[in-house]
Amino acid sequence: MIPKRILGNSGLEVSALGLGCMGLSFGYGPAANKHEAIALIRTAFDAGVTFFDTAECYGPFTNEELLGEALAPFREQVVIATKFGFQDGDSKKGLDSSPSRMRAVAEASMKRLKTDYIDLFYQHRVDPNIPIEEVAGTIQDLIKEGKVKHWGLSEAGVETIRKAHTVQPVAALQSEYSLFFRETEKEIIPTLEELGIGFVPFSPLGKGFLTGAIDETTKFDTTDFRNIVPRFSEENRKANQALVDLLRSIAIDKDATPAQIALAWLLAQKPWIVPIPGTTKLHRLHENIGTATISLSAGDVQQIDTAASKISIQGARYPEALQNRVGK
């Protein structure tokens, strides 16, 4: 079984690895078959995963409905995280964290998730038009009403995190973090440590790149988000292969896979870090969960860091329009 971790000082206990559910409905090509997706979510639960991540904009809306149906038989035994922050729940539209929108999302999300409370309610992206103190105040009201248990921020900058935490303690920050993207180590992780906030890295496998299943010849579905990501251009995929080669060489020594080493490295960083790898494939789910049996020593981590520091990752992680929404 997967060990448990607590997100910062919040007391919110989750499995050390969660399941990011976005890709089942959105972002990485066509949606998965519904019955297969439900089976995958329930298999994850049976294997010890108790932390499931979704958002109203994944679909939009269909991912929450899928999760609601899949988790209904054991709702009380799992932690469900969902998110607000986009106009009409559509990530292609502008941001909207107005109190009325937040309340509307909470009600609609609960209905789709077949629940009367949300364990962890994230602001999906910081809304420059709504003071974060106002957002935190609305969350506080939702917590008092019993509709929300904990709250979090996604891709927020240090200043926003501090301001938000002063009004209503933040349980977790969800942002990108992996051996493929380490910007968060500079300011974000030290701030989270200081404030006692948990960290939930999304794309812990570099949007699939660190599994070793992607190279410069890989063709993505036309609806796959990676087609517009600079880091996934053909020449950048070729250049960045050195990182996968490094993981592969360490994996051989540990009788593991590159993905498992990448996840084990994240788990070794801090005891309050909980990655949420996503997948649509059962064999990948089992592979990710298998990480729980792999432990890296301080020496192993040092070896990975030393080798990784010599590799310069090529390409931005977002196209410019999306980059403008992060780190606020």
* Catalytically annotated residues: 58
Residue 110 tokens, joined:
């609960």
CA distance 138 to 120: 14
CA distance 133 to 163: 7
Query: Comparing C-alpha atoms, which of 107, 103, 48 is closest to residue 78?
Result: 48
CA distance 82 to 320: 25
CB half-sphere exposure, 64, CA atoms < 13 A: 24
**Which residues lie below 8 Å from residue 33, measured CB to CB, with a gap of 6+?**
none
Residue 186: Cβ within 10 Å count: 10
**Which residues lie below 8 Å from residue 69, measured CB to CB, with a gap of 6+?**
38, 114
Return the biggest CA–CA distance within the chain. Answer: 54
Residue 185: Cβ within 10 Å count: 11
Q: How far is CA 131 from the centre of its chain?
A: 24
CA distance 179 to 296: 15
Q: Is the bond leading into 60 cis (omega within 30 degrees of zero)?
A: yes
Total count of residues recorded for the chain: 328
Residue 202, classed as helix, strand or coil, is: strand
CA distance 9 to 169: 9
Query: Comparing C-alpha atoms, which of 78, 89, 86 is closest to residue 114?
Result: 78
Q: Is the bond leading into 204 cis (omega within 30 degrees of zero)?
A: no
